[in-house]
Chain A
């Protein structure tokens, strides 16, 4: 506990220092900039090559599309920062506040309930029972299913592995889909590809318990590789970078999550593909709609699926020539089947 207490004390004391300069508070052109859209990152930080980064791109895209929009973000270094960070953005006059991540649910609920006229939005959580919270959610398991099938088809050792950052819905939904995809491959092909790191029935597996520590990520992938896995699916945000960095020497490939790892990380040569979660478009549309009618709250929510391209499998890039055409065709067919509803992919963590 001392460790946690000290670490927490440190983070709290210096959270203010770490983000003292508002990093991206762009001055608007004269007459513009009347709609302030703000975002609070989770502990992964704005450049997690994952959903924080993707959501921020959504805000930036909205700014590019509508000159009335100005953007700003505040980084959280600890979970205890969520509440004050959200609170500060309300005080700061933000009209639209984007919370990122299911872990921010409690803090968002508290701050949003206290400020019912401010438009809040949250990625990876439902509307928290409030009318001023706009939920942006994803049927991620559909895309992860394709990734599992791809991994099983690509693996030479017949073993693949996955690990998560934390045992929470937005993470395990990837792992559920992945495991089911491998299972589907085994059933249709009569093969026996093994998955290490996640047991869908027991809902338990391998976790770094962290989204930042790259050494923890590497440790988990080393463990999986030792079990024979040659395709690794890290669902751990920035911690997964440790696995990606070691992949070239370790003789395995990575399936990245949230954004296209080939484009967002420095480890292009090991990125087999990525499970995309298009927070960017979901956030962009929400901001633009909210800016169009300031003062009115958004209704409904955004649900990303394979059908509306809210989730998907990234291009194979450098691996395009190394994947059999038949496997690519099967993936296309699977995608169509899932969109048509003939194959149902479910997860206990999927949006209700």
Chain B
């Protein structure tokens, strides 16, 4: 492989209006919209937020006047923009904060407008739940692509995982066995991916797309032929038990989201930490990154490039497959055709948005989960914004995030390029 990548930090200077400063300008504009326009149109009514999981009148709550709220959070957004322009530093932090403030201002406007109520713990819980398959999917993508193999087959791995969890979980009569089977299911898809990509050097994006179609076709076929005929024996794995961590689950707002969930919730959190440590603090991680960036160099120092790629693609399959159990054992207790409904592709976007980093992928997944939960909430409280538009919100937000805010997120240099010795 002779391809070289130019490190972006060595690019020519851009003049005063750097990308960071431009982003700051956009933040200031957003802040102005909130502080001036929203404050003008919002009714002079309180917006009420509940700390608990429901809007029961007895629960702890606080409220803020609509006009005061939009003004304050609009000004905070402006402040973030101003800091970006003045300092030209800390792009991620201030853009993130600024956007968060803007969303809060918009939320206050909507709540005051509709007289609706926001149960914050529930909002965060739905966010976390919606994010779960994306976290597994995106981290599976990171593990795979960091070693230089593009993983477009996340959707297929999730779907196969969901199918195996339901089928084998029911047949053996053990949900735990179902979880193991789910991981193996994802790994089977990975095996084909690895074999074709590494051994036969087939274009990895094309294999990924084909594998997704294969997984959809096969699981759909066996669903029709086997599961549907006898639901009791083949397709009723039951819901995974919810484990509550005493004490911690009582923390307002984030408690129920993080400490009141199934094994998948805890596994996802653990996975983020484990993947980060493994990738950046272990020998395996160093080798993985070396193979993903410059396989020829890695080869010359004695790293087995192809072997390592096989291992990583298989691990990715295990992770995504395990996450697939979410669809048939957490949000439902049965498998149906195409139950993943394209979330694997969102996971792919989350991986890119998260800059091929486990923590970034996690945050990106949460970002999508939150916009999705918010979309539901606004529809439920009868927001004046049309539901069709709100339904687009998570996807539009993801597109903007991937296209604009991340900037030059850079894939591993050898990502998608087969390695041929010599």
Contacts and interface: CB of A to CB of B under 8 A. Distances in A.
Contacts of A249: 239, 242
B337 A77 contact: yes
A224 interface: yes
A10 B220 CA distance: 12
Contacts of A7: 342, 345
A167 B239 contact: no
Given A45-B336, A207-B391, A2 B345 contact: yes
B37 to A, nearest CB: 23
B213 A14 contact: yes
Interface stretch (B183-191, B303-311, B382-390): B382-390
A214 B340 CA distance: 9
Contacts of A196: 380-382
Interface string B312-355: 00000000000000110001111011110111011000000000
A119 to B, nearest CB: 27
A204 interface: yes
Contact of B331 (A161, A225, A246): A246
Interface residues on B, range: 35 or more
B61 interface: no
A111 B392 CA distance: 32
Nearest to B376: A223
A222 B128 CA distance: 13
A226 B213 contact: no
A298 interface: no
Given A11-B216, A242-B331, A249-B239, A219 B129 contact: yes
Contacts of A75: 224
A13 B217 contact: yes
B107 interface: no
B341 A266 contact: no
Which of A163, A209, A210, A213 has the most chain B CB atoms closer than 10 A to its own CB? A213
A213 B326 CA distance: 12
Nearest to B57: A228
A245 interface: yes
Contacts, number: 163
A303 B339 CA distance: 34
Interface stretch (B1-9, B48-56, B274-282): B48-56
Contact of A215 (B212, B216, B326): B326
A225 B341 contact: no
A226 B54 contact: yes
A116 B340 CA distance: 40
B338 A77 contact: yes
Given A18-B337, A161-B380, A213-B341, A77 B119 contact: no
B380 A224 contact: yes
A171 interface: no
Contacts of A20: 221
Contacts of A190: none
B214 interface: yes
Contacts of A46: 228
Nearest to A48: B336
A136 to B, nearest CB: 24
Contacts of B125: 222
Interface string B84-101: 000000000000000000
A109 B419 CA distance: 54
A214 B339 contact: yes
A14 B220 contact: yes
A212 B336 contact: yes
A222 B338 contact: no
A101 interface: no
A9 B155 CA distance: 13
A6 B239 contact: no
B298 interface: no
B209 interface: yes
Contact of A223 (B217, B242, B377, B382): B377
A277 interface: no
Contacts of A19: 224
A214 to B, nearest CB: 4
B332 A245 contact: yes
Contacts of A4: 342
4 smallest beta-carbon distances between A and B, as pairs: A14-B217, A226-B122, A214-B332, A215-B331
Given A219-B129, A220-B376, 17 more contacts: A10-B213, A10-B217, A14-B220, A17-B218, A23-B224, A47-B228, A197-B380, A205-B380, A205-B382, A214-B327, A214-B336, A215-B327, A219-B373, A226-B119, A228-B54, A228-B56, A245-B331
Interface of A: 2-4, 6-7, 9-11, 13-14, 17-21, 23, 45-47, 75, 77, 161, 163, 167, 196-197, 199, 202, 204-207, 209-210, 212-216, 218-220, 222-228, 238, 241-242, 245-246, 249, 266
